[in-house]
Structure 1
Amino acid sequence: MDSPLAWRPVTAVSAVLVTLLLALSPRYGYHRDELYFRALADYPDWGYVDQPPFTPMAARLSMALFGDSPTALRVLPALAAALLVVLTALIARELGGGGAAQTLTAAGTATGAYTLIAGHTLLTASFDLPIWAAAILFMLKALLRDERWWLAAGAVIGAATYNKLLIVMLVLGLAVGLPAAGPRRLLASKWLWAGALVAAVLALPNFVYQLTHDWPQLKMAAGLSEGDGDTMRLLFTPMQLLLFGPVVAVIAGFGFVRLWRDRRVRALAVAYPAAAVVTVISGGRFDYTAGLVLLLFAAGCVTAESAGREKIKSAGLSLAVNGLGNAVITLPLVPLTMLASTPVPLINEVARESIGWPAFNAAVTGVLDSLPPEERRRAVVVTGNYGEHGSLVQGGLTRVYSGHNQLWEYGPPPDDGDPAIIVNVGRMRRDLQYSSCEVRARVDNGLGLDNEEQDMPVFLCQGLRQPWTATWHRWQQFD
């Protein structure tokens, strides 16, 4: 007989999480990815060179419903984090967990480092985590109860491709797990293949977009692997321990054993190492396995519950300490004036890259405002990455361009774009485009916090050598 859903504690954990995330949402400022999504929201499309349309359109919806502010963009991520908590508790329940296991799973998920980051900031992962959890929950139901649940799993997987194609990793993990660990009879199940067909039909527009646009996601993946692949391989193992915190990782280890011992769900135990191997070989990001880590964690919480009250109590206390450490590192709890003197910016890229955008905008607009009226009318601004572009657009500037990822598609700058204010672009590109470039300002966030924009020179370039329409192809970059 199924254990009842522990809806009171699970709902309480979700409510506290949403309240905390929204209360802290105005602190620090936009993250660079949020500025990018905010810019893409002005260009609705079936897809973009670096991602499907869901997250940029979530930004568009958020601004329409809640206004244009960091808090407005972060309402949906906070709600998605709450949904993730409920879904992981349901996964624990599906694996036989009672109230204690469900509550432990909810609390550990809510206070996991990656959950807090994805719930605080509008990222593709904000929605990918609950989508993976839903797909895994339906897979478990298909494996443990009724094969017709493969239809629901297929529907979620197909829909997931509109947010991120990473869901293919989960499918690949299952494709390895079923023949390797069974139950192999499912390979002949009409419901499994019907679910696969549902996923394929729903995902088809995404793959048509890729086909008709020369497979930009493959180019993007190659660019990421070439630029950061070696670093990601080195970071993969330690970050598996830190992704949701070391206590979650330890409990997940027990969860792997539990899944492995149950022949009915052993395929999903195999899915984690399969996805991990593919991630390491391809040089992908260490968070590509996050959804499967939460599955293992939920299974581990069921193991802790079956070991008795003392084990549950010990796990709960350990997760409380784990969560407190995660909150300090991932949430904007440290005052801005003190942040640079702590290790938080070194550990948390999201915090580091959410600081200093007003100072960056001021440095660029200061150079622009110093120009004579006629030059200011013709001037363009060219940035090296999408965060800088998005920040200037959010600040009200027009005639801002970048060759970074999707933004290249919205160029080139007009051929009368002389002079140009250029930031974060290498000397070779500047010198090929303009006859003279000189530093007119430097970015200073005033906090002593080191990030990509801190101390960045702002160049004023004059004397356009060639029309932008003839040279824009040189400015395209994928990373």
Structure 2
Amino acid sequence: MATNSSTASAAETTDRIPRALPPFARSAVLATAASILALLLALTTRYDYVTDELYFLAAGKFYPAWGYMDQQPLVPFLAAFLDWAFPGSLFAFRLLPAITTALGAIVTALMARELGGNQRAQVLAAAAYPLSPWILLNGHWLTASTMELLEWTAILWLLIRWARLKHGGIDRDRLLLGIGLITALAVQTKFQVLVLIAALLLSIAITGPRSLFARPMLWLAAAIPLVTAIPTLWWQARNGWPALAMGTAVNNENDRLLLVPISLFYAGLVVGAACCCYGVVRLLRAPELRPFRFLGWTAIAVFLFFLVAGGRPNYVAGLFGLLFAAAATGLQRRTGKLLWPAYLLSAILPLALLPIYPLGFLARHAELPSYVRLYETGWPELTEAVARAYRELPAEQQRRTAIIAENYYLAGALDVLGRKAGLPRAYSPHRGYWFFGAPPESADTVLYVGNRNRLSVHFGRSRELGEVETGLVNVAQGNTITLYQGPKQPWPALWPRIRTI
């Protein structure tokens, strides 16, 4: 009897999911989330809007639509609503992404708990989440990538919970309905979530639990994002499926061979990268995680899809929380003295990427790499330079002048901030902005802002009016303002010819 009992006990510890979850490390996990929230809120008003925030704000405020070339309508709608409710408030505008990032750490800890992680594992998982440079930096912005991180993490958590309960003989199919609702939001954020869903279903079909496909709630959950996506799909079809062209552009911009190393860099030097690799190994090999094998194969399938089809390294960032949680369950009983020092060392890079430096310091140190300086500064100087050039034109000519920016970065800034400075709306032939329309037929003069893709061959006369001077290294600095007159073709014929992707 003793032998049988010990054998059964060993089997239980190597291949079962406990019915009773480990206690939730409420105080430590919530303290971690609160620290993330406090840090991000303290930096919300540093510098200025980032390029994508300006683009989303312009799209939602001035060009609302059921779809866009490069994103879906949820974040533009949120940006427009927040700007309407709290005009010009960067704090209010960035409160939601800060909360979203803090919630991501909590959900990551809950995933670790569902995978059998004790309180120490839950804290390790939650603490690893903000150590990802990509995750923490996106928590500073209201962008589609920010919202996508929490959406993927929440979908995976609910599915893990459903699988754990099902393995224990408990049907909790309302969790599948929750997955359907979150997926509906995710589809309206970015189409990449469809890759995650497809990878999950394929992995489950191969490794189990195949009983999922017999649950009626699964098909109801699947219908929710399909039905809610109809307007977006209709917009895509009516405009020639521009999302496919965007996919081609992304593929051309990225080196497939760098997908894995850059993804690991985005996960975080030391802790994040190590946890991603260890998390995949545990999901595929750990005996106690056998019921979750499908998650390991899902992670591999998502990576392989973007490796073959082409994609940015951040497209897989929604898997980081899952992999951190799986890794933490393997670290929970280790007492290595280097674990927490590794966490502290890993915090240096994500903190350094945030807007923590005074602008005067950045101006004196142009050699210092700073992503936020590059994409978050220079907008007032850009707007003033273009407004000054516009005001110098005769009043009659102003009425016939269109402002065209080389790319959506500049166009978004001029559209959102320029209108307050008395400028007309901005146009751009670049990516999603091209779909916002061409200048009117009456526009025979163009103020063009940019250094590449000049319009000289399409106009009879051109004259450089000056350059944008910001005093910092950023995307606005050094752009030339050029006056073009005498278009050689009407705008309906010219606009498709100057389109850039």
- Partner letter of residue 278 of structure 1? F
2:278 corresponds, among 247, 250, 254, to 254
Give distance in 2, aligned partners of 1:412 and 1:194.
42
Matched, 1:437 2:462: yes
Between structure 1 and structure 2, the one with the greater Rg is 2
Deviations 1:33-88 (A, max 9, x none): 11111111223322222221111011012112322143332111111111111111
- Aligned 8 A contact 1:345 1:352 in 2: no
Give distance in 2, aligned partners of 1:343 and 1:152.
48
1:140 corresponds, among 160, 177, 181, to 160
- Displacement of 1:220 in angstroms is 1.7
- Partner letter of residue 355 of structure 1? T
Change (3 A) 1:201 1:269: same
- Displacement of 1:325 in angstroms is 2.5
- Displacement of 1:405 in angstroms is 2.8
Tell me the equivalent position of 2:45: 26
Tell me the equivalent position of 2:16: none
1:315 corresponds, among 325, 333, 339, to 339
Give distance in 1, aligned partners of 2:396 and 2:42.
45
Question: Size of the alignment, in residue pairs?
Answer: 467
Deviations 1:133-180 (A, max 9, x none): 110011101221135133322222123111111111211221332234
- Displacement of 1:305 in angstroms is 0.7
Matched, 1:60 2:87: no
- Aligned 8 A contact 1:124 1:164 in 2: yes
Tell me the equivalent position of 1:236: 259
Residue 229 of structure 2 aligns to a residue whose secondary structure is helix
Deviations 1:440-469 (A, max 9, x none): 11122213x2x4332221111122323223
Tell me the equivalent position of 1:389: 411
Residue 403 of structure 1 aligns to a residue whose secondary structure is coil
Question: Which ranges in structure 2 are unaligned for 5 or more consecutive residues?
Answer: 1-19
- Aligned 8 A contact 1:249 1:297 in 2: no
- Displacement of 1:115 in angstroms is 1.7
2:349 corresponds, among 304, 308, 325, to 325
Tell me the equivalent position of 2:144: 124
- Displacement of 1:412 in angstroms is 1.7
- Aligned 8 A contact 1:173 1:268 in 2: no
Residue 136 of structure 2 aligns to a residue whose secondary structure is helix
Change (3 A) 1:257 1:426: closer
Residue identity over aligned pairs, in percent, reads 34
- Aligned 8 A contact 2:137 2:350 in 1: no
- Displacement of 1:243 in angstroms is 0.8
- Aligned 8 A contact 2:403 2:447 in 1: yes
Give distance in 2, aligned partners of 1:409 and 1:256.
41
Deviations 1:296-333 (A, max 9, x none): 111111211133xx23x6333311221133111x2101
Q: Which residues of 2 match residues 402-417 of structure 1 at below 5 A?
A: 402-417=428-443
- Displacement of 1:278 in angstroms is 1.0
Query: Could you tell which deviates more after superposition, 147-156 or 87-96?
Result: 147-156
Give distance in 2, aligned partners of 1:257 and 1:377.
64
Change (3 A) 1:179 1:239: same
Matched, 1:375 2:386: no
Give distance in 2, aligned partners of 1:435 and 1:332.
44
Residue 243 of structure 1 aligns to a residue whose secondary structure is helix
Deviations 1:175-212 (A, max 9, x none): 33223433445445545444334443343443333334
- Displacement of 1:245 in angstroms is 0.9
- Displacement of 1:219 in angstroms is 2.1
